[in-house]
Each structure stands twice: as structure tokens, then as C-alpha cells.
Chains A and B, each alone.
Chain A
């Protein structure tokens, strides 16, 4: 298979170079058109903050990885990127690489859920721009099946692997139903925003945000349908919240032990979770000594993250086994797209039908006509199959293997002739 792939990712290039070639959503479509104009017949373009990948089947067998790289570098005009910043794959290795990406084992955060969705999205774009042909469709189906199997058959995506998600998962080990709980996020910076988003996604009952700059708190609150509490007043209302996540850049402690004790008294000892994901810390760590208060800071959340990451790493061999199985299935299908066996299977398929019908009906003919019936029906089949046979042989001789494979694949699909099961008519 002359599938070619190039990848620039977190292992091959620093973030500034990855950013330089990152294709935004509105850039991917023009890039695909540019690729099509430059002899890339069908393919897939995946671009995220950690990787930009181009998979393609060129019109000519002469087309190399360098052509793919120059296409990308011409389109994004980045000067500091060299050939060494790219990983190159061809044929079966290219498909294996796509499967590794789809299952998340090639990600910076092993088992990353996002990348599976991103692969699906990029294929959607390839379809919309008619960049996904017959072969890419099949490869994509296999990639999605591989990704789904990795999720359902292994624990590759289980457990929190970011601090803010670990904070939310820890709350689920204390409270059973977040929809009945309330949360306050102190600090509307990037970390606070991610934590607030996670809480919102988990269906928190009510969410409030407070920030030294009121405007930032209001912006975040608007995005997440949360309330805003003025920063100067938040201490008086901490007793109203079951979960408090603090992520400010304040140099001093914002919530001390006495504040928490007073809040707990007002709550009649209803448990409180305090997640301090700020550096330096916002909440007095002494609060961890109070009964019914679950205080956790970055150090404790990092323990969860590290444990989950190592558990995910231990799942990689299981995922690799699934990848090899799916790769083998796909490869078997691809090998069936050769002209000679396809012509033979097609002829066998028609001959089987002819023979069956002749056997069923020959008694309706006089004994002396039965031989003629056999000859005539054979002649009809030969005439029907003459042109398709010529076309398949021609396609096999042409320069583009993908053209030939597409034609053979369509014929196999139309007549239900799979390589293992010659005819599916029964």
C-alpha cells in the first residue's frame, strides 16, 4: 500500500515548532485543497496542539515523504523546521501509527481521550472535502474500531491524568451525587477554568466563581452558567459550598484554619472538600487536621496522577495487541485487492450462479438441448464479464495502485465477494 505519513509531534519537536505548523480548523480545508492540487489523491490531516500529521495516498508512486513535508512547510512557511523534526511512515507502518494515535498510546498524556475525537473530526473534514477515498474510508473504519476496542477492552483511558481532573475525581470518592452538591472555584485563571469546566461536565448542582478581577470571574461564570461571588465577600460564604477549588496566584494564604472551622460549624459538620491547586498554596494546609474536612493540595493530587499514568502505561501492551489484530484484518482485506485473484473470484461467483440455475432448470429442456443450454449460458457469462475483466487487468497495469485497489474493492463490495468467502449470495 503506498500510504505515506509524516508526523511532527511532542517527541520530535518543541512546542514553538509544533505551534508553527499547527493547522487551525479554518486552515485544514485550504491545506487539503492545496494537497489535492499537488498530486495527493486521498488522505487525512490531523492537527492538534501536540501533533500535526498528514496521511496520504499520492497519485504517483514516485511521491515521497519530502513532498509531504514541503507541502506543509510551503503552506505554513516555517523556517526553523528541518527534516529531523518529522517522523516518517509508509504503508503498513503508517496505518499502525494512525492506530497508535487513535488509541492514545502515542499521546503525551497516554490514553488521552481527546485525540480519539480529534481523529474522528479530521476524518469528517476529509469526507466533506472529498479527500477520503475508498481506501482511506476503510483505514478510518479500522482506526475507529481499534480506538473503541482499546477503550472498552483495556483501562488505557481510565483514571485522572491531570491535576484538575484528579481533583474532580477525588470529590467523586467522597460524594456520591455531584448534582446535589455546590462548588466554589476561587481564581478564574487557566487552571481554575479547567477545574470549573470539569465540575460543570460532571453535572455539579451549583457552581460559583470568585476572582480578584471581577470581570474575569464574570466571563468564566457566563461560559459555565455559574454564579459570581465578589472576591472581598467570598470568605463569608464558604460554608455554603461542599467543594472549594482554589487556583489563584495569590502570594499569601486566602483561607485559614479558623475560616474553615467556622464554616464547618455553620454547616453542622457536613463534609467539605478543599482542593488547593495553587502555587503557592491558597488554603492553610493545617485544615487537613479538621474532622469532616478533606484538604488536598498539588502534592497529593499528583500522587493520583502518577499512579494513573503508570497504570495506563501498563495497559499499552494490551492496546498494542489490539492494534496488531486490527492491522492484520485490514491488511488481509488490502491484499485481496489484487487483480488476478479478484478476477478469478468474480468468474467463480458468476459460474456458481450459472451452474445452479442450469441444474435447477435443465429438466425443462429436451435431452438434446441440455448441452446447448450449458454452452449458451457460459457464453452469456463470458460476454458479461469480458469488459470488467479487461478493465481490472488494465487497472492493475496502471501506475496508481490505489486506482486498481479502489476498482477491485468496489467490485468485491458490489457482488459480496470477500477473499475468505468467495460468494455471499447465499
Chain B
């Protein structure tokens, strides 16, 4: 089983790369015959990735959520699965290459550095930890996709204003759709992060004797949560829309990235396991 896991670990970045090439080719050429081919590539990659996660969980007796490189592979599958659903439900073409590149990067880093850990701290085998981490990852996947759609909105907005009617103009969906996709992804991410924070606040003080509310990861996540809460509220109240809203989404994503880097790699706390 271990050799199978190692083989899939090498294959996954290759599969994501091939899928990205298929999406990028479709973006450039928009050939009617290739519409479904790229989806098949993505489906096969997702299926292989799911097998990989299941095999790792069985072989190493814990879900792959105990260190940053295991988390990256989960992040890759959650982003690509979310996008797969978005594409199936909305039938929107043209945004795939900008999303698929993210799972490729995450999986490539994961495949290069992931280790076969059989010994992990007892606290990391908890079911509550599983729900906490997976909901936090879903939250950050939602924010990532929201930021990508927000970025595409800004590019298309600028192109239309400046009369640039090139590939971006021809292939991307319209501005309202991009804004909506960015908002929906942010709302889903926000709900998932809220669940992660609630579980964290209830469970962490019990599980960790050195728990502190001033933990950098906790402060960072709360800041991100507040940013998205503010943005979503102002949208619901009709105060903010379009450009302002997507800029907020991109800012939230940047804050999330910075806070994750700072809290994981620079600050030492009970919340860091690697």
C-alpha cells in the first residue's frame, strides 16, 4: 500500500498539470468539441486524489491534517472539488485555469515535502480536531476561490473600461456572474470558518493546557472572520457592491495568507504542530 501511496503522490501533480493544460487550451481555443474533455480530466484527477487521501488515512492511521504538507494536499482537493461543483452547477466556462493552478501549486509542494508519519501526537487523533481543521480548510478554500473570482472581476472590469476586448473579455463570464461567484464562495468560506472558530473556542481550551486567546492563529482567523463578516453584511444591506466588494474579498484573502504564514512559521504557540 505504501508504494501505491508514493506512486500516486508523484502522479498527482502530473495529473493536476495535465488538467491545467486542458483547461488552459480550452481557454485559448474555445473549441466546442473539447468542452467536456477537460471536465473528464478534472474528474479523473479528483478521483485519484480521493483514493490517495483514503489510502494515506488507512496506512498512517490518521487523516492527513497533522502538518502543513498534509494540509496542502487537503487544500488542493477541496479547492478543485469546490471548483468542479461550481462548474457543474453554473456551467460557467473560462475561469478554470485561474483556479486549477492553485491545487497544482499546493499539491506540488505537498508531494515534494510530505512524509510518511505514523507517529503523531495523541491530541491530533481527535475527531473534533478533524472537524475543526476540515471546516477551517473549507473556509480558506472558499476565500481562495472568492479572491480568484474577485481578481478576475477586476481584470475584466478594467478591460471593459479600457476597451480591451481580448481573450479575457471573450472567455470570462460577465461581471455580475463573477461578482456573484466571488460572493457565494466567500459566504461558504465564512460559514465554514465560523464553524471552525466555534469548535476551536470550545475544544482548544480543553485539549491544550497552554491555550491562549492571544494565540496568533486565533487572532489572525478572527481578523479574517471580521473582514468577511463586514463585507457580507454591507452587501446584504446593499451598501457595497461590485468593485468595492471584490477588493474586500481579495484583501481578506491576503490577510488570511499573511496571518497563516506568521502564525505557522514565525510565531511559536500551542497552535503549531510542526
Interface residues of A (CB under 8 A from B): 153, 170, 172-177, 268-271, 288, 291-292, 294, 296, 299-300, 303-304, 307
Q: Is B175 an interface residue (CB 8 A)?
A: yes
- Is B241's CB under 8 angstroms from A173's CB? no
- Is B243's CB under 8 angstroms from A291's CB? yes
State how many angstroms separate the Cβ of A227 from the closest Cβ of chain B.
Answer: 24
Contacts of A292 in B (CB 8 A): 242-243
- Is A173's CB under 8 angstroms from B238's CB? no
Q: Is B177 an interface residue (CB 8 A)?
A: yes
Interface size on B, residues (CB 8 A): 18
Chain B positions 144 through 188: 1 when the CB is less than 8 Å from some CB of chain A, otherwise 0: 000000000000100011010100010001111100100000000
Known contacts A174-B160, A176-B174, then 10 further A-B pairs from the complex at CB < 8 Å, ordered by chain A residue: A173-B175, A174-B174, A174-B176, A175-B176, A176-B173, A268-B239, A269-B241, A270-B241, A303-B165, A304-B165
State how many angstroms separate the Cβ of B243 from the closest Cβ of chain A.
Answer: 7
Point out the residue from A268, A270, A288, A299 that lies within 8 Å of B161, measured CB to CB.
A288
| Distance in angstroms between the alpha carbons of A270 and B235 in the assembled complex | 12
- Is A176's CB under 8 angstroms from B180's CB? yes
- Chain A residue, CB-CB nearest to B238: A268
| Distance in angstroms between the alpha carbons of A299 and B176 in the assembled complex | 25
- Chain B residue, CB-CB nearest to A295: B161
State how many angstroms separate the Cβ of B178 from the closest Cβ of chain A.
Answer: 9
| Distance in angstroms between the alpha carbons of A172 and B160 in the assembled complex | 12
Chain B positions 258 through 272: 1 when the CB is less than 8 Å from some CB of chain A, otherwise 0: 000000000000000
- Is A294's CB under 8 angstroms from B160's CB? yes
Point out the residue from B176, B238, B241, B242 that lies within 8 Å of A176, measured CB to CB.
B176
27 contacts between A and B (CB under 8 A): A170-B160, A172-B174, A173-B156, A173-B160, A173-B169, A173-B174, A173-B175, A174-B174, A174-B175, A174-B176, A175-B174, A175-B176, A176-B173, A176-B176, A176-B177, A176-B180, A177-B176, A268-B239, A269-B242, A271-B175, A271-B242, A288-B161, A291-B243, A294-B160, A294-B161, A303-B165, A307-B165
Contacts of B163 in A (CB 8 A): 296, 299-300, 303
State how many angstroms separate the Cβ of A5 from the closest Cβ of chain B.
Answer: 32
- Greatest chain B CB density within 10 A among A176, A303, A304 is at A176
| Distance in angstroms between the alpha carbons of A269 and B234 in the assembled complex | 14
- Chain A residue, CB-CB nearest to B30: A155
Contacts of A173 in B (CB 8 A): 156, 160, 169, 174-175
Contacts of B241 in A (CB 8 A): 269-270
State how many angstroms separate the Cβ of A130 from the closest Cβ of chain B.
Answer: 40
Contacts of B160 in A (CB 8 A): 170, 173-174, 294
- Greatest chain A CB density within 10 A among B165, B177, B238, B239 is at B165
| Distance in angstroms between the alpha carbons of A266 and B163 in the assembled complex | 26
| Distance in angstroms between the alpha carbons of A170 and B175 in the assembled complex | 11
| Distance in angstroms between the alpha carbons of A288 and B163 in the assembled complex | 10
Contacts of A300 in B (CB 8 A): 163
State how many angstroms separate the Cβ of B4 from the closest Cβ of chain A.
Answer: 43
State how many angstroms separate the Cβ of B255 from the closest Cβ of chain A.
Answer: 24
State how many angstroms separate the Cβ of A84 from the closest Cβ of chain B.
Answer: 40
| Distance in angstroms between the alpha carbons of A396 and B88 in the assembled complex | 60
| Distance in angstroms between the alpha carbons of A32 and B243 in the assembled complex | 61
| Distance in angstroms between the alpha carbons of A172 and B32 in the assembled complex | 21
| Distance in angstroms between the alpha carbons of A303 and B166 in the assembled complex | 10
Contacts of B176 in A (CB 8 A): 174-177
Contacts of A268 in B (CB 8 A): 238-239
State how many angstroms separate the Cβ of A302 from the closest Cβ of chain B.
Answer: 10
| Distance in angstroms between the alpha carbons of A269 and B169 in the assembled complex | 23
State how many angstroms separate the Cβ of B53 from the closest Cβ of chain A.
Answer: 36
Contacts of A296 in B (CB 8 A): 163
- Chain A residue, CB-CB nearest to B160: A294
- Greatest chain B CB density within 10 A among A173, A291, A299, A307 is at A173
State how many angstroms separate the Cβ of A173 from the closest Cβ of chain B.
Answer: 5
- Chain B residue, CB-CB nearest to A290: B161
| Distance in angstroms between the alpha carbons of A31 and B7 in the assembled complex | 77
Contacts of A153 in B (CB 8 A): 32
State how many angstroms separate the Cβ of B248 from the closest Cβ of chain A.
Answer: 14
| Distance in angstroms between the alpha carbons of A170 and B165 in the assembled complex | 10
State how many angstroms separate the Cβ of A272 from the closest Cβ of chain B.
Answer: 12
Chain B positions 238 through 253: 1 when the CB is less than 8 Å from some CB of chain A, otherwise 0: 1101110000000000
Contacts of B165 in A (CB 8 A): 303-304, 307
Contacts of B32 in A (CB 8 A): 153
